[in-house]
Structure 1
Amino acid sequence: MVTGSRNGELSLADARLNFSIYGASAPRYQELVRPPRDDERP
């Protein structure tokens, strides 16, 4: 795990976990994200 880089204290693994739980890289960003459009879904 790498922390303390350009991304601050958040590691990529932590951001991925947060995204799966909260839909954002961190809980504090939940209000700033929107649901994906149909053309953005896999």
Structure 2
Amino acid sequence: LGPRSVPRRVRVVAELPLRGVGKPDRAAVARLLSETVGP
């Protein structure tokens, strides 16, 4: 799987921490990405 196979929704969520949402959200996003992309 490549970057293009990642749903746009996930990429948008991954950008939230960069917009100053907060560190807890950054951790949640990292967890979401790991579950979506896989090992």
How does the TM-score come out when normalised to structure 1?
0.31
- Structure with the largest fraction of helix: 2
Structure of greater Rg:
1
How does the TM-score come out when normalised to structure 2?
0.33
The structure showing larger relative contact order (alpha-carbon pairs under 8 Å, at least 6 residues apart) is 2
